[in-house]
Chains A and B, each alone.
Chain A
Amino acid sequence: MTTAAEIRTFVEGTTNYFEVSARQPASVGSPYLVTEGAPGVHEYTGIIGISGARKGMVYFTAPRAMLTVLLMRMNETDTSDENIKDLVGEVANTISGNARKDFGKDFVISTPTVVAHDPKLVNPPTHVRPFVIPINWRTHSAKLVVCLE
């Protein structure tokens, strides 16, 4: 069960990521609970496994076009597939790691796993309802999905 305050932690982490890294704020939509099935994913997904006091996963999923522009906003000129994968993992890692400010040290995060081009490989736990935080940045849409027992 994820509380409203916990979701707010992830919303704040997402907002802060774009403000600081991209120097351009994102618009974060109202988080919603997915009641059936798994949320859809974009081309690239960075997944963080959560263990310790909480169990589950947090993932950030975004299209290539958005990640390319984000890299460019960070003054990165190499927009190869490797760097796009690296970025999507780093966004997931940063937002999840920042959540420890409120969740504490026992919110243990894994190193990122990245799934590209194959949405079937993103498998959130089926016994937990995921929360989706919609993210709009420039003309692009992405999602942060929080799936915690």
Chain B
Amino acid sequence: MSKSNGANGASGERMLRMMIVDDSNIIRRRIERSQQNARLQVVGSASNGREAVELFQKTNPDVVTMDLTMPEMDGIQCVERLVSLKPEIMILVVSALADKATAVEAIEKGANGFLCKPFSDRQLNDALAELLKEA
């Protein structure tokens, strides 16, 4: 798989392609509308893990927001799959599952951050900024 296009934003930092994965349309739209990081460009969204893998292969994102409870292929399985396809991918899990064990499992499978639903715009943007610190 090819690397991202490497285009730079106004700050001179590399632009990053972002994919949103959630079975809720309103959450997908909310994340797209609310994210204000100048380095991120949303390249697509998917409503389950299977669709996410297909979209990943078409759009080659650098950053993914990932729900966990989804039909067809759940978020944990999808995290594992995406990490196997692109180990350097940055994944922010955005889920209502608030138990510590689930967050730990997601991180162990390769996610880089965890944001619990419900979330405010500020919490979303802070979580994305934290994720991009290493990018």
A interface residue numbers (CB < 8 A to B): 16-17, 20-21, 23, 71, 74-76, 78, 82-83, 86-87, 89-90, 93-101, 103-105, 107, 109-111
Contact residues on B (Cβ < 8 Å of other chain), bracket:
20 to 34
The SS class assigned to the B binding surface is loop
Please indicate the chain B residues that have their CB under 8 angstroms from the CB of A96 in the complex.
Answer: 96
- Minimum CB–CB distance for A94 against chain B, Å: 4
Contact B25 A101 (CB under 8 A): no
B interface residue numbers (CB < 8 A to A): 23-27, 29-30, 33-34, 69-71, 95-99, 101-102, 116-120
Given A109-B69, A111-B69, verify A94-B96 contact (CB < 8 Å).
yes
Complex CA–CA separation, A90 to B70 (angstroms):
12
The SS class assigned to the A binding surface is helix
Please indicate the chain A residues that have their CB under 8 angstroms from the CB of B71 in the complex.
Answer: 111
Please indicate the chain A residues that have their CB under 8 angstroms from the CB of B70 in the complex.
Answer: 111
Contact A94 B101 (CB under 8 A): no
Sorted nearest first, the 5 A-B pairs with minimum C-beta distance are A97-B96, A101-B98, A100-B99, A20-B118, A94-B96
Contact B118 A17 (CB under 8 A): yes
CB-based nearest B residue for A93: B96
Contact A90 B69 (CB under 8 A): no
Q: Which of B26, B34, B96, B98 has the most CB of A within 10 A?
A: B96
Complex CA–CA separation, A50 to B17 (angstroms):
36
